[in-house]
Structure 1
Amino acid sequence: MRELVIGGRTIGDDTGCFVIAEIGHNHQGDLDKAKELFRAAKDAGADAVKLQKRDNRRLFTRELYDSPYDNENSFGATYGEHREALELGRDAYLELRDYAAELELVFFATAFDETSADLLEELDLPAYKIASGDLRNTPLLRHVAAFGKPLVLSTGGATLEDVDRALDTVLPTNSKLCLLQCTAAYPASVEELELGVITTFRERYPDVVVGLSDHQDGIAMALVAYMLGARVIEKHFTLSHTAKGTDHAFSLMPEGMRKLVRDLRRVPAAIGDGVKRPLPSEEKPLEKMGKKLVASRDLPAGHVLAAGDLVAKSPADSGLPPYALDELLGRPLVRPLVEEETLRADDVGCAAAEKGRLPAGSRAASSIE
């Protein structure tokens, strides 16, 4: 059965969507700003908030760490200084973990290296994210899978061979896996989303929950993803599109996240149970728009109905619906009708009416257009 539990929330084919507000480093290294983002995500209805954790000196080569980083989004003179300025430490993570619990938000993070993964495990976070860039990093996958926690795996830039290799690495140790279709472009164009891969993943990995890490700067495609079977949606989240940093421009702001969550929550109810039936809310509109059969002119008793004797007119408040016309032709009238008088089943002397071939003259039967 395709099912996953993250922070007490069950995710599966027959559940609503699990929405992750990906904060990443949009907090800009500021604990208070991170808390503000948590509150805004909660108010917008997100199920979870996610950060990114790096041990920068371990993660980057010395050359990259010390390389100049002079641009409008830089928080330091070198790339290493920039990354360190954005990083939150253990104490901040501990405080944010407790704050998320107060808000009843699931809180977890992307681990970019083993050291960061160990810190997150020490804090007992309920799940882990592995970024697209580490899909081929089987040592990290194996290390994190061994914790036995739910693992959310992005697949940007991957082939099916890469995905198979990652699952072959994780699943023997840990079956608690969510696989996200992802395009590792920031932002991703609609033409690059490849949402059909969601179907490919669902068919190829029938026991794995599938979702979408959506880097497109809108909300409509996430709804399409849900209809294709995605049950986890991850969207980058910010308080301002103009804030300093590369992610803010394509991230959802609180109102956008609220609309996304609202629409995703509506989808299961909108799908319904698949049974086609008339609804109470349709009765009045269809009575007004629908039609019934009436006499096109004055018709005497005993007249044998012929083409042109009856016409369909609104409202459909009583009498016979137009689809009964073929059964009526060639039958005699039991009583006279004046022009535009409603025809009822017992107005015709016909064996068909007696055998129930004609619909009763009820409002429900006559409200079919």
Structure 2
Amino acid sequence: MTIGGRRVADDTEAYVIAEIGHNHEGSLERAEELFRQAAAAGAHAAKLQKRDNRKVFTQDMYDQPYLGRNSYGPTYGAHREALEFGRAEYEHLAQLAADLGIHFFATAFDTASVDFLMDLDLPAIKIASGDLTNTPLLSYAAKAGKPMIISTGGASLEEVRLACRTILPINDQLAVLQCTAVYPAPPEMLHLNVIQAFRREFPSVVIGFSGHDQGPDLSSVSYGLGARVIEKHFTLDQTRPGSDHHFSLSPAELSTLVTALNRAHRALGSEVKTPLVEEAPALFKMGKKVVAAYDLPAGHVLRESDLAFKSPGDGLKPYRLNELIGRSLRQPVAVDEPLSPELTILAESIHAS
């Protein structure tokens, strides 16, 4: 797939998304700093979340009391509205992202939010795990014609198949992310091997990892398994109130993540096993060649007991010893001197003459 002109495929580095969500806490100034820090850490995209709260929640859920450390309002609806950016903020952040050289897009939780984001011409659209089974939203978002990224937390394989069957006939620019909807998710709940299963099941799409685990280290494992889109929550302060801060990456951790993923890309290299020029000095020192075990006269018919295998490894490799056994030496060979087929003739040739 291609996001904002950046190609994402098996042979590329990971595409890293700094998932800010609502860690800006409704502050445009804090959102700006999150964008700057994400860019400085090497992320390729900064991502928010967009909801039309009146349409997303039932009236009862919107009006329910929501008190506690993580609350930004007395009811859940007031809390959500306090965290929601409007058009002016999105336009401002889109320009900031362009100035910083990173992509900016958001997760859409409803069709009105899809329209809002597409009217801004953002380069991609994300659908959260909770909407993986919301096929009307998947279809609507697919028709927008932008690259789509979907998370799969809490889903069965059949539900992921259904989502792909809904999107792909409309839009083939798709990334499917393995995800665990636990916050934070301990390592034993990540099931990173699902990445390989997704690669087999959906060979035409990009596979990725949306990590709710703490820290950056396991994302490199996901890259090694084939994930090419890596999404991690991002914050300026892990101690802040809010449901996401505590498991989000700090700026330093995000920088560590990007560096580690780039190293993993370089380390994977080629599928072809072949000796490297750079390995030659070590193999010269440590490798073995076939030499005479002791002084051998001309005409001697070689036996395995006449051969020794010693360093440096600049001669006939030991696995070629059968090319020597049973052949007669053309000339004397001193102990430790290298042996080669060119120094021998067939023993039968001697008897025949």
Question: Where does 1:217-256 land on structure 2 (aligned, <5 Å)?
Answer: 217-256=214-253
Q: Does 1:323 align with 2:319?
A: yes
Question: Where does 1:56-205 land on structure 2 (aligned, <5 Å)?
Answer: 56-205=53-202
- Alpha-carbon distance in 2 for matches of 1:309, 1:168: 68
Q: Which amino acid aligns with 1:252?
A: L
Q: Which amino acid aligns with 1:323?
A: Y
Q: State the TM-score, normalized to the length of structure 1.
A: 0.83
- Alpha-carbon distance in 2 for matches of 1:31, 1:335: 87
- Alpha-carbon distance in 1 for matches of 2:197, 2:333: 64
Match of 1:345 in 2: 340
Contact 1:335-1:347 within 8 A present in 2 as well: no
Unmatched runs of 5 consecutive residues or more in structure 1: 355-369
Between the two proteins, what is the percent identity of the paired residues?
A: 56
Cα root mean square deviation, aligned: 2.8
Pick from 9, 27, 50: which aligns with 2:24? Answer: 27
1:128-171 CA-partner distances (Å, limit 9, x unpaired): 11111122333433433332222222222123443344344444
- Alpha-carbon distance in 2 for matches of 1:296, 1:95: 79
Question: Where does 1:34-53 land on structure 2 (aligned, <5 Å)?
Answer: 34-53=31-50
Residues 70 and 17 from structure 1, CA distance in 2 versus in 1: closer, same or farther, beyond 3 angstroms? same
Return the offset for 1:225: 3.2
Q: Which amino acid aligns with 1:89?
A: G
- Alpha-carbon distance in 2 for matches of 1:259, 1:194: 22
Contact 2:330-2:344 within 8 A present in 1 as well: yes
1:194-248 CA-partner distances (Å, limit 9, x unpaired): 3343344344444333322222224444334334433322111222332322212
- Alpha-carbon distance in 1 for matches of 2:301, 2:135: 84
Residues 327 and 212 from structure 1, CA distance in 2 versus in 1: closer, same or farther, beyond 3 angstroms? same
SS of 2:344's equivalent in the other structure is coil
- Alpha-carbon distance in 1 for matches of 2:244, 2:165: 32
Residues 314 and 165 from structure 1, CA distance in 2 versus in 1: closer, same or farther, beyond 3 angstroms? closer
Match of 1:207 in 2: 204
Give the ranges of 4+ consecutive aligned residues of structure 1 lying more than 6 Å apart after TM superposition.
Answer: none
- Alpha-carbon distance in 1 for matches of 2:135, 2:299: 89
Q: Which amino acid aligns with 1:188?
A: A
- Alpha-carbon distance in 2 for matches of 1:301, 1:171: 75
- Alpha-carbon distance in 2 for matches of 1:168, 1:327: 59
Residues 308 and 7 from structure 1, CA distance in 2 versus in 1: closer, same or farther, beyond 3 angstroms? same
Q: Using the TM superposition, name which of 194-203 and 107-116 deviates more.
A: 194-203
- Alpha-carbon distance in 2 for matches of 1:295, 1:175: 65
* Number of residue pairs the alignment of both structures matches: 348
Match of 1:6 in 2: 3
Q: State the TM-score, normalized to the length of structure 2.
A: 0.86
Return the offset for 1:86: 2.3
Unmatched runs of 5 consecutive residues or more in structure 2: none
1:160-195 CA-partner distances (Å, limit 9, x unpaired): 443344344444543433222222111223332233
Contact 2:324-2:344 within 8 A present in 1 as well: no
Contact 1:331-1:348 within 8 A present in 2 as well: no
Contact 1:292-1:342 within 8 A present in 2 as well: no
Return the offset for 1:27: 1.6
- Alpha-carbon distance in 1 for matches of 2:11, 2:204: 14
Return the offset for 1:102: 0.8
